[in-house]
A and B are shown apart, each in its own frame.
Chain A
């Protein structure tokens, strides 16, 4: 083997990759926020909804979790236009990510809800809280707090999984890498650099999530401070 690796990309190439990384962040965060909303709704349907809603949410979750996201993406990107709904690659990719993450989030949030002691709801009812207040303060927020680490690692999987949307040409990091390597024929080097960029994104996201936990959940902050003082 007498091949020397060459990592000398032009500044245009770097700009494309960095722009792609930014797009990946946008796709991931958009997919997470909208997906989380879908997931919470499904989780509520599955634990306390009408029997029909239960079945709908169950079928949706099982379908998404037992088929590849690539096939889901093709179904949306190629399938919806045949029904008269025209989509750009980016829109189709976003829809696929939202509904994919939604199904995983639904299962995680449901686990969080199911771990709640029943007495808490009875206590809330006896305090005269409305149904909406009970859902908000007793069911959903504590459930999310409980499963926060799982949601965070699922989010990392979403971000890494978003590489797949390059298959339909949505503009993100892997798609940028595809076009860069198509121009300079340094495929291995370009994908190595891209992999490194994903790794940086993953580590950065982990940091953001563990910091955000302290801001979002005051109780955890108190516990964290207490353990720090004890240590």
Chain B
């Protein structure tokens, strides 16, 4: 039987291309929809807030895997034969947008109310208030959890393997079916994910620390 070779390793690395494409798709798509959800969530119209709330509740209250299945079979019902990347992209975008909506709403709400009142008293329109006063401050607070969530997105792209997208996990399964050396193969797959995720985790923690420079640290006893 053939041993795990450099060629197999290289196949796994190449499969990371789809993992990264799907991650970027979900991050950008989810970010754009997430902005919309955030704005709806802080809207002054109650019904708009309710709709955004319901959207977040449904997407945060059901498993991503089910959402991927629904996108996959739902798109098929529409009569179009979509490649798995589309279904996975749609599901991950929706999933990410709900989490971004919630993260960013928290950031906006942590801005002290006088900032709204002060900018309103300067005669700024609501759009100008958000654009020039609230958003720049909220972005700083939202940065660490946003980067942290990017790690979740990368890890969650592995679920697309279940509907057949040939990303890292799927390719690892293929190789393992032939070589049957699971510890090596899935270990390498895990290592590739780790290389993608760990720098972002560190970056997120760095932003977090920079935000709380004055926080007292715990000494061990």
Inter-chain contacts of B221 with A (CB < 8 A): 48, 118, 121
Q: In whole angstroms, how far apart are the Cα atoms of A71 and B70 in the complex?
A: 23
The answer on a CB contact under 8 Å between A72 and B190 is: yes
The answer on a CB contact under 8 Å between B58 and A199 is: yes
Is residue B45 contacting chain A, with contact meaning CB distance below 8 A?
Answer: no
Which A65-118 residues have C-beta < 8 A from chain B?
A: 65-72, 74-75, 78-79, 82-83, 113-116, 118
Q: Which of A9-17, A29-37, A188-196, A207-215 contacts B (4 or more CB under 8 A)?
A: A188-196
The answer on a CB contact under 8 Å between B217 and A114 is: yes
Task: Give the B-binding residues of A (Cβ under 8 A).
Answer: 1, 3, 47-48, 62-63, 65-72, 74-75, 78-79, 82-83, 113-116, 118, 121, 156, 160-164, 166-167, 174, 177, 187-188, 191-192, 194-195, 198-199, 202-203
The answer on a CB contact under 8 Å between A199 and B172 is: no
Instruction: Label chain A's interface by main secondary structure.
Output: helix
Q: In whole angstroms, how far apart are the Cα atoms of A203 and B151 in the complex?
A: 26
Task: Please judge, given known A-B contacts A75-B186, A195-B70, whether A47 and B65 are in contact too, CB under 8 Å.
Answer: no
19 chain-A/chain-B pairs, Cβ below 8 angstroms? A65-B197, A65-B201, A66-B151, A66-B155, A66-B194, A68-B157, A70-B158, A78-B176, A78-B186, A114-B218, A160-B61, A160-B62, A160-B64, A164-B65, A164-B159, A166-B65, A174-B66, A198-B63, A203-B61
Minimum CB–CB distance for A74 against chain B, Å = 5
Q: In whole angstroms, how far apart are the Cα atoms of A172 and B169 in the complex?
A: 22
Q: In whole angstroms, how far apart are the Cα atoms of A159 and B56 in the complex?
A: 17
The answer on a CB contact under 8 Å between B158 and A68 is: yes
Minimum CB–CB distance for B164 against chain A, Å = 12
Minimum CB–CB distance for A216 against chain B, Å = 24
Minimum CB–CB distance for A65 against chain B, Å = 7
Contact with A along B32-73 (1 / 0, CB 8 A): 000000000000000000000000011011111111011001
The answer on a CB contact under 8 Å between B62 and A198 is: yes
Q: Which of B1-9, B74-82, B104-112, B129-137 contacts A (4 or more CB under 8 A)?
A: B74-82
Task: Please judge, given known A-B contacts A75-B183, A82-B183, whether A174 and B65 are in contact too, CB under 8 Å.
Answer: yes
Inter-chain contacts of A162 with B (CB < 8 A): 63
Find the residue from B159, B169, B218 having the highest chain A CB count within 10 A.
B218
Task: Please judge, given known A-B contacts A75-B183, A82-B183, A198-B61, whether A67 and B77 are in contact too, CB under 8 Å.
Answer: no
Inter-chain contacts of B65 with A (CB < 8 A): 163-164, 166, 174
Interface size class of B (residues with CB under 8 A): 35 or more
The answer on a CB contact under 8 Å between B66 and A79 is: no
Inter-chain contacts of B220 with A (CB < 8 A): 47-48
Is residue B146 contacting chain A, with contact meaning CB distance below 8 A?
Answer: no
Task: Please judge, given known A-B contacts A48-B221, A74-B173, whether A3 and B201 are in contact too, CB under 8 Å.
Answer: no
Known: A71-B158, A188-B74. 11 other contacts (CB 8 A): A3-B77, A62-B201, A66-B193, A68-B193, A78-B186, A79-B182, A116-B218, A160-B64, A163-B63, A199-B62, A203-B61
The answer on a CB contact under 8 Å between B198 and A66 is: yes
CB-nearest residue of chain A relative to B155? Answer: A68
The answer on a CB contact under 8 Å between B66 and A68 is: no
Inter-chain contacts of B113 with A (CB < 8 A): none
Minimum CB–CB distance for B156 against chain A, Å = 7
Is residue B162 contacting chain A, with contact meaning CB distance below 8 A?
Answer: yes
Find the residue from A47, A63, A75, A177 having the highest chain B CB count within 10 A.
A75
Minimum CB–CB distance for B8 against chain A, Å = 16
CB-nearest residue of chain B relative to A194? Answer: B66
Is residue B83 contacting chain A, with contact meaning CB distance below 8 A?
Answer: no
Q: B197 contacts which of A66, A160, A203 (Cβ < 8 Å)?
A: A66
Task: Please judge, given known A-B contacts A3-B77, A66-B194, A74-B182, whether A113 and B158 are in contact too, CB under 8 Å.
Answer: no
Is residue B187 contacting chain A, with contact meaning CB distance below 8 A?
Answer: yes
Is residue B90 contacting chain A, with contact meaning CB distance below 8 A?
Answer: no
Inter-chain contacts of A1 with B (CB < 8 A): 77-79
